[in-house]
A and B are shown apart, each in its own frame.
Chain A
């Protein structure tokens, strides 16, 4: 199973996501990328992230994405 960082790197290989605390403010993800990322997370972890959770706050950084995964049933 891939880590969140590995999935992010596949979507936007040009960015160093480990060096950012705010992917949106740093221009590393936009609203269209969020949709792609959700599909990749769903597939990788075998979950279905609800539409209500697809908001920028849940994709701000690696920690917030990991928190979203835990909320969606992925074991820590």
Chain B
């Protein structure tokens, strides 16, 4: 693996492999340019590429997220077996697609020693909110990021939940993408979201353990909906085995839309 220096080299690699693959193109790598740029600036992204296959590894805390682009599933399977990163480092990969359509790719990773670690469901609901914002809720500011990050890291699983970095949260705070309600001088409940046109995605919804059963979670999610009267589609990803969270999202009108994220872990992820 070598460090990626420029966004352009990633895009050129993807395009080259796509062209070589035609309809057999296989990938789990769908980066946006701003996100790629941030990973490269923070020296988090490495790659190993050939004419027909590319692996990208993004460092995240104490492990790597592995992405691939290949001219076909059989080549992916073959190349995975020779990838040093998989043998020597803790690695997670996410395979996203419609239920039942991922078996070939899952098989390729299992042949390289990966095991199913978690399964996430995409849930969606329609918009058309008419409720009023909660007067006690406010946008988080960048100086409040350390306690927000601490709450997220204690509430979610770093391997399966794509936890943000401190700098990503600071950027989100500056962009007014985190709303919260303060309770006893600390973050009582928060929603971190990203809105693009008529679609808004909840990245995290969390309630401080000391503030459970005070309805703060309901208030902050309703506040989030109320901030988006023009949004027509709300989406999010949730772990399928987090029955409490799934039940709450269903209560607020979300439903599975058929897309799943199969998270796989190599043996060095305990």
Q: What B residues does A50 contact at CB under 8 A?
A: 22-23
A51 and B24 within 8 A (CB): yes
A27 on interface, CB distance cutoff 8 Å: yes
Q: Indicate with 1 or 0, residue by residue over A9-21, a CB within 8 angstroms of chain B CB atoms.
A: 0001011000000
B198 and A32 within 8 A (CB): no
| CB of B195, distance to nearest CB on chain A (Å) | 7
Known A-B contacts A14-B126, A14-B233, A15-B232; the reply to A28 vs B199 at CB < 8 A is yes
Chain B interface residue count: which class? Answer: 20 to 34
A26 and B96 alpha carbons, distance in the complex (Å): 23
Please count the residue pairs between chain A and chain B whose beta carbons lie under 8 angstroms apart in the complex. Answer: 47
B127 on interface, CB distance cutoff 8 Å: yes
- Within the complex, which residue of B21, B199, B231 is in contact with A51, where a contact is CB–CB below 8 Å? B21
B259 and A32 within 8 A (CB): yes
A44 on interface, CB distance cutoff 8 Å: no
Q: What B residues does A25 contact at CB under 8 A?
A: 196-197
Interface positions of B from 186 to 205, Cβ below 8 Å from A: 195-200
B18 on interface, CB distance cutoff 8 Å: yes
Describe A's contact surface by its main secondary structure: loop
A48 on interface, CB distance cutoff 8 Å: yes
The residue of chain B having its C-beta at the shortest distance from the C-beta of A31 within the complex is: B30
| CB of A23, distance to nearest CB on chain B (Å) | 9
A12 and B232 alpha carbons, distance in the complex (Å): 10
B63 on interface, CB distance cutoff 8 Å: no
B39 on interface, CB distance cutoff 8 Å: no
A35 and B25 alpha carbons, distance in the complex (Å): 12
A45 and B98 alpha carbons, distance in the complex (Å): 22
Interface positions of B from 222 to 270, Cβ below 8 Å from A: 231-233, 259
The residue of chain A having its C-beta at the shortest distance from the C-beta of B19 within the complex is: A52
- Within the complex, which residue of B19, B25, B127, B197 is in contact with A26, where a contact is CB–CB below 8 Å? B197
Q: What B residues does A32 contact at CB under 8 A?
A: 30, 96-97, 259
Q: What B residues does A27 contact at CB under 8 A?
A: 195-200, 231, 233
A52 and B196 within 8 A (CB): no
Known A-B contacts A14-B127, A14-B232, A32-B96; the reply to A48 vs B23 at CB < 8 A is yes
Q: Could you tell me which A residues sit within 8 Å of B by CB distance?
A: 12, 14-15, 25-28, 30-32, 35-36, 48, 50-52
A-B contact pairs, 27 of them (CB 8 A): A14-B126, A14-B198, A15-B232, A25-B197, A26-B196, A27-B196, A27-B197, A27-B198, A27-B231, A28-B199, A30-B199, A31-B30, A32-B30, A32-B96, A32-B97, A32-B259, A36-B98, A48-B23, A50-B22, A51-B18, A51-B21, A51-B22, A51-B24, A51-B25, A52-B18, A52-B22, A52-B25
